[in-house]
C-alpha cells in the first residue's frame, strides 16, 4: 500500500513537471531532485523491458544524470535484486555499477532528456 501511494504521489508530481515544454537543468551539470525523481517515475511507469527481463520491481535500479557533448541524459543500470536489496538508488554516473555480463539480470538504459526518448535499453550478454 505504501509503495502504491508513493508511486501515485510521484506520478502527480511528474504530471506537473512534464507539462512544461523544457526540463530545467542547472549550469553545473546537475538536475533538480524534484525533476529527477519525477523523471524516474515517468520512465518506470512507461518502460517496457526486454523480453527476457524480470519484472521491474525485481531489480535494484541505479539512476544517474550526465551531460554528454551538450546533451543531457539519464543513465540507468538495473541489477537483479537476487544479488542486492532492491529499490531505487540515485547516484553519480561514476558510481553506477559496472557489470560486463549477466544476461537479463543486468539491464542498461540511456534516456535523452531533450528528445524525451530512450536511446538504448538492453540486457547484458552472457559469459
pLDDT in tens, 45-94: 999 999 999 999 899 999 999 988 888 999 999 999 775 667 899 999 99
pLDDT higher than 90, residue 110: yes
Torsion of CA 19, 45, 4, 2, to 10 degrees: -90
pLDDT higher than 70, residue 123: yes
- The residue-averaged pLDDT of 108-115 equals 92
Looking at every residue in the chain, the average pLDDT score rounds to 76
Q: Which residue has the higher pLDDT, 88 or 27?
A: 88
Q: What percent of the chain has pLDDT over 70?
A: 72
**What DSSP assignment string belongs to the chain?**
-HHHHHHHHHHHHHHHHHTSSS--B-TTS-B-HHHHHHHHHHHHHH----TT---GGGEEEEEEEEEETTEEEEEEEEEETTTS--EEEE--GGGS---S--GGGEEEEEEETTTTEEEEEEE----
pLDDT higher than 50, residue 125: yes
Domain boundaries, the chain: 2-123
Q: What is the pLDDT of residue 34?
A: 82
Amino acid at each position: 500500500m505504501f509503495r502504491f501511494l508513493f508511486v501515485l504521489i510521484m506520478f502527480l508530481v511528474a504530471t506537473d513537471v512534464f507539462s512544461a515544454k523544457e526540463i530545467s537543468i542547472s549550469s553545473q551539470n546537475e538536475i533538480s531532485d524534484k525533476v529527477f525523481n519525477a523523471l524516474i517515475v515517468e520512465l518506470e511507469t512507461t518502460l517496457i523491458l526486454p523480453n527476457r527481463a524480470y519484472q521491474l520491481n525485481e531489480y535494484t535500479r541505479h539512476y544517474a544524470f550526465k551531460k554528454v557533448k551538450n546533451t543531457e541524459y539519464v543513465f540507468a543500470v538495473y541489477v537483479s535484486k537476487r544479488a542486492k536489496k532492491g529499490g531505487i538508488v540515485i547516484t553519480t554516473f561514476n558510481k553506477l555499477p559496472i557489470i560486463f555480463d549477466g544476461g537479463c539480470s543486468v539491464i542498461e538504459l540511456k534516456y535523452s532528456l531533450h528528445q524525451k526518448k530512450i536511446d538504448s535499453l538492453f540486457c547484458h550478454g552472457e559469459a
